[in-house]
Copies of this chain bind each other. A is one copy, B any other.
Amino acid sequence: VTVGPGPRVVDLNADAGESYGVWRLGADEELLDVITSVNVACGFHAGDPATIDRTVTAAVGRGIAVGAQVSYPDLAGFGRREMAMEPGDLASCVLYQVGAVAGFARAAGGRLGYLKPHGALYHRAARDEAAATAVAEAARRYDPQLPVLTLPGSALAAAAEAAGLPVVAEGFADRAYTPDGSLVPRGRPGALLVDEAAAAEQALRLAGSVRSLCVHSDTPGAGPIARRVRAALTGAGWTIAPFASTGR
């Protein structure tokens, strides 16, 4: 089941809930006014329980779809370091995080809308079949109808499809792509588009081929970029709406 781009309907997603204890990160407040789906950190790469609680409650209150942004267990590395987890352990880790965020969504009167891997797990699940299958299997065990947000053509897209899960294609408004369609790795020069106009242009270019566009929360100027992307899309006749149920 692939959830394709509707007739000029597109979703805007961003990460949030990435603060931890006293440490603040991201432009959550600003972004929640712009996006229609929120990838909530689940406590493994970021997000203490109080932060997740606050983030999910705010999202549900605004009708934003809540996604579990599952990660390797690696606070110190923000989930950006590949870890050689066995598929079975990985599946249990994913299911743990999915349940935790789903509990907050339920408590807030909403429901878990989708799953999206974070950081190194995003990249591994995009190319490694065993990891992709573990992630998809965890999602399916939790809810056979849970949408999986991922790169089109990725191993995770295939594994989720095989598991009978809705697959939602994602593009990145503010990350540079290589000619072959993969992302320029973080840390490389030009990996992040910090120019609002460039991000807006890229969003318009991608909107036809993906159902959801990601704008980053930790890009400098994340709020203004997201607003510019949204304005460009609506200006071009796109409706901005979540792909997942918000449970309300």
A53–B95 CB distance below 8 A: yes
A21–B75 CB distance below 8 A: yes
Known: A21-B75, A49-B95, A96-B100. A84 touches B85 (CB 8 A): no
Contact with B along A13-28 (1 / 0, CB 8 A): 0000001111111000
B22–A96 CB distance below 8 A: no
Q: Quick one: which of A32-61 are within 8 Å of B by CB? A: 43, 46, 48-50, 52-53
Closest to A93 in B: B49
Q: A8: CB under 8 A from chain B?
A: no
B77–A85 CB distance below 8 A: yes
Q: Which of B20, B74, B142 contacts A106 (CB 8 A)?
A: B142
Q: A193: CB under 8 A from chain B?
A: no
Q: Which of B48, B52, B78, B84 contacts A22 (CB 8 A)?
A: B78
A102–B99 CB distance below 8 A: yes
**Cα distance A20–B74 in the bound complex, in angstroms:** 12
A53–B103 CB distance below 8 A: no
Q: A29: CB under 8 A from chain B?
A: no
Contacts A106-B142, A106-B143, A107-B141 aside, 20 further interface pairs with beta carbons under 8 A come to A19-B23, A20-B23, A48-B92, A49-B89, A49-B92, A49-B96, A50-B93, A77-B85, A81-B83, A81-B84, A81-B85, A82-B82, A83-B84, A96-B103, A96-B104, A99-B100, A99-B101, A99-B103, A103-B142, A107-B142
